[in-house]
Chain A
Amino acid sequence: MSATGIGASVRRKEDFRFITGKGHYTDDINRPGQAYAYFVRSPHAHAKINRIDKAEAERAPGVVAIFTGEDIAADKIGGLICGWMIHSKDGSPMKAGPHPALAQGKVRYVGDHVAVVIAETYAQAREAGEQVNVDYDVLPAVVDTGSARSVGGEPVHEVAPDNTVFEWHLGNKPETEAAFARAAHVTKLDIVNNRLIPNAMEPRAAVGDYDDGADSFTLYTTSQNPHVARLVLSAFNGIAPENKLRVIAPDVGGGFGSKIFIYAEETVCVWAAKKVNRPVKWNSDRTEAFLSDAHGRDHVTHAELATDANGMMIGLRVHTTANLGAYLSTFSSSVPTYLYAPLLSGQYNIPAIYCEVDAVYTNTAPVDAYRGAGRPEATFVIERIVEVAARELGFDPAEFRRRNFVTSYPHQTPVIMCYDAGNYGASMDKALELIDYKGFPARKAEAQRRGRLRGIGFSAYIEACGIAPSAAVGSLGAGVGLWESAEVRVNPVGTVEVLTGSHSHGQGHETTFAQLVSERLGIPIDNVTIVHGDTDKVQMGMGTYGSRSGAVGMSAIVKALDKVEAKAKKVAGYVLEASPDDIEFKDGKFTVKGTDKEIDFASVALQAYVAHKFNGQDLEPGLKEGAFYDPTNFTFPAGVHICECEIDPDTGVTRIENWVAVDDFGIVINPMIVEGQVHGGIAQGVGQALLEGTVYNEDGQLLTASYMDYCMPRAYDFPSLKVETTETRCPSNPLGIKGCGEAGAIAAPPAVINAITDALGHENIAMPATPLKVWRAVQEVQPRMAAE
């Protein structure tokens, strides 16, 4: 392993500019003549718009223009789309209500976009925005996930009279029923997966720019996938043909899924830039982010696990109601379906699984993918019910898991997935050792002497990353393919630019991708630059989410590097006067097999461009190759996390005392970056489990719309995390990578809740397990514990 190659903890190349404040985020971009947009948002969760009176606002100082849904309609700008078609059990397509970029006739959640005010300054736009008078007829709001289908009253969308988007299912119902019929024991559990608000550090922003000379547009936006944004803005919203629309996602300060989607604000900014023939800039404030960034999770689930007399799992049935909010966001429909139910088998050999998912509309912010997207929800279901089953059956929770682990590969689950490689027992062994499981009873007794309740909780999660192949996802309803592109441009002096369709918004691609190239070409890492996030530079790409950039994005780079190497060998052959078949490439040098004739990579690059040593008809000059990579399967990272916590029964405060994570991510490119990803993921997962609760009141007002009430995790909430890995190579991609971006967020919530319920001997703790909820549970169990 070289100091900067695969497996080395190379310091992040991008951090110098971020840490010194030299990053270039969308809000840092200012175009000459720029005007500012302010969005007038609905204060009501559900209302008819009778009239919008903008006359007074139009006279306010600095106002350039005010647009409403009527203007959007007049210009035939298409509504925002949902790119994944889900069909209900009965074969009917999902009921997608209209989603105009500016409301037309009705508003459906607090924060919905009613009008845009464009003015000389942001302050003027906002000032004028407050003078736009909207006459509403307020309607009762549909808020609660569980009762959305039965509340009656005016539905959120006409197309869905009972607020049901689809009734979908997966698995084998008769086999599952049969398994339950012969079960020795059935464990039942009701679960709520709480709604989360993403809170990337950088709020969303957009600058729309129009060049009337060339009749072309540029959109700078906070996106995780600028190419998909361009595709949708062109093909569906009708902003401009793709060759007339450039989308740039510069430095982006975190996304966690929330910046995958194509939002109303960026659509309006780029459209309005032509209307006012000036660049139009919008920057979300934190309140707008709380109200209008797509939220995550929000499931209500009933699950049942059937076991036989030997404690083997024989069947799982799950019913979930998933709240998709007021509109179908870009990938919303895929999250509680194909990103959820196929993961319900967990790490276990469960021969029969059947899952039903009813998706509902409510008058709340749209819900879409958020770190883990469907997989945390699935893991929470399986890892909670497995824990409860172990307790009911009197098994040690580690032992119960182990006896049901999948141990041979490939393993076909009853819910689509075919696990290709893994060693779940190895992760479990290592995790038990690291947490000193044998010493737990002594630690618990010692805690009891201090008046504290100590508990231990497991989470043996599996996830599916790099969702693919394109043909398969297409058959499941995806509107796009899920491959990735790469282009390796070798400059005449031997430095390299790698253009990738992946997008880095915190992941460290500029480092990890460069490590791959540096090792492969034997050139210094500083000679490699990673280019991403600009549709004029990178032709096409699918962006970054679902931990796909390593497994899919880097694999595309490998393919392009293969081609570069093959071509370079030909060049070297001409220079060294040998057959390309006799040329070997190692450590940055081309040698003629069995001789001491050699030439280094930079010289070959120069020779490729001067083209003096070969006939341009026999070999094209230049050294630049591109590739598209479409995987053959998902990848399946898996691992075991163990959480040990202590509860103060007097206050209900839970402190995490120990955390062990043992993950199998396949081959690791940069252990330091991977550890950082795991830390961040665990922090978000613990946030969900203990701290982050989104609360709408019955009128659909968001009560947790600021950090005064929405609690984000802080360093203070964590002990030092023990993060280790085991390794089984991923067989489906050339590097053997599985992906690590979401693992922590997937693994953590059940580990925490299992630990708390273990400490309390109480199964009903809803997330977030705030001190209030834990204290109430203590009140219930304490008399019982005292009696025991």
Chain B
Amino acid sequence: MYAFTYQRPTSLDDAMAMLGDGDAKLLAGGHTLLPTMKQRLAAPSALIDLGALRDQLSGVTEEAGGVTIGAMTRHGEVAEDPIVKRVIPALAAMASVVGDPAVRSRGTMGGSVANNDPAADYPAACLALGATIRTTKRQIAAADYFTGLFETALEAGEIITAIHFPKPEKAGYEKFRNPASRYAMVGVFVAKTAEGVRVTVTGAGANGVFRAQDFEQALAANFSADAIKAVKMSPDGLNSDIHADAVYRAHLIGVMARRALDKANI
């Protein structure tokens, strides 16, 4: 770790002001940022700990039929939340398979969505459900928000405050964990929404989360695992690494999609 200064603002305005300084970075659960700093891959000049804003920035509310989740809400809290479980059970189920218990009891939804790790889970849910990312400056539709590997539409000094998820008619998530890290090697979120059918894939795309449009088309008329049995995913544009090559990942996307559909249709 390189040296840095530490700040703990008690208001969002203060936090934004502090973010103006040099290479300052927000600290939420720290489960991505701190390991990266320890490995000396990140060297922020200051850490602005959002811990004192947890009351203000965390919690789940039911809004317009869907759910709104504060940025500082931890994965474990999302997994256990009665409102999430009732309104969008697939989202609670997703939160329950993020990392391991230690990760789930510290990591936050805002941190995860801000980080946009190509193997993270939430980006798949956000994109499939048509979520809205709410920040200190504006509201951003998920479709415009995830822009590439670890890239988002967030601007300097912008803080995520909450994420709103509309309620889907049906949804399901299935994840093939990287056996070592437990991030998604392939994660597929399927949803039948007011906007149509969405199938999103995380962990596999060379450019981060993406929509599997062949699957979406096949599912438009018949939202069931059977409908995509014959649809083959192309390995083009998928990742190859020591754990899985593109061909295997392409195959797993199909398997995970079918299993997610079975869950959504229970």
Contact = CB atoms under 8 A, between A and B. Distances in A.
A771 B180 contact: no
A650 B3 contact: no
Interface in A701-722: 703-704, 707-712
Contacts of A243: none
A370 interface: no
Q: Chain A interface residue count: which class?
A: 20 to 34
Nearest to A703: B242
Interface in A747-771: 770-771
Contacts of A651: 176, 252, 255
A650 B252 CA distance: 8
Given A650-B255, A695-B242, A775-B251, A711 B180 contact: yes
B22 interface: no
A547 B180 CA distance: 29
Contact of B243 (A127, A712, A772): A772
Given A123-B3, A287-B39, A772 B244 contact: yes
Contacts of B181: 707-709
B194 interface: no
Contacts of B3: 123
Interface string A690-708: 0101010000000110011
Interface majority SS on B: helix, strand, loop or mixed?
loop
A703 B248 CA distance: 20
Contact of A707 (B180, B245, B251, B252): B180
Interface string A636-658: 00000000000000111000000
Contacts of A772: 243-245, 248
Interface string B3-22: 10000000000000000000
B180 A708 contact: yes
A756 to B, nearest CB: 15
A772 B185 CA distance: 11
B242 A704 contact: yes
A364 B244 CA distance: 24
B65 interface: no
Interface in A452-504: none
A651 B243 CA distance: 13
Most interface-central of B2, B179, B242 (chain A CB within 10 A):
B179
A582 B251 CA distance: 82
Interface in B153-210: 176, 178-181, 183
Contacts of A691: 179-180
Interface in A107-156: 123, 127
A123 B1 CA distance: 8
A350 B124 CA distance: 58
Interface in B209-251: 242-245, 248, 251
A707 B2 CA distance: 22
Contacts of B39: 287
Interface in A531-546: none
B210 to A, nearest CB: 21
Contacts of B2: 127
B255 A771 contact: no
Contacts of B180: 691, 707-712
Given A693-B242, A772-B243, 7 more contacts: A650-B255, A651-B176, A651-B252, A695-B242, A707-B181, A710-B180, A770-B179
Interface of B: 1-3, 39, 176, 178-181, 183, 242-245, 248, 251-252, 255
